[in-house]
Amino acid sequence: MTVGWASWLVCANCAGRVSDGRCAVCRDRLARMRRESGPLTGPMMLFALVLALFAVALVVARPA
């Protein structure tokens, strides 16, 4: 499984995609991105954004 946008990154060391993990630099970066990806990635981030926008809309639409 690749980490979201990692499939688009190109390694400066081997000129391959980072998600392929061709060299040690690619594998290290891919492992680091996987470690750093927290619970609010992908669909959870989208859900949090929609929830925040809904909360703002409720505050704005509240009668004075």
2-54 pLDDT per residue, tens: 455 556 788 889 988 888 889 999 899 888 888 777 666 677 788 989 999 99
| Tokens, residue 53 | 């926008």
**Residue from 24, 30, 1, 26 nearest 11 by CA:** 26
pLDDT at 30: 85
Question: How many structural domains compose the chain?
Answer: 1
Boundaries of domain holding 24: 4-61
26, 16 Cβ separation under 8 angstroms: yes
pLDDT confidence band for 1 (50 / 70 / 90) = very low
| Tokens, residue 46 | 């989208």
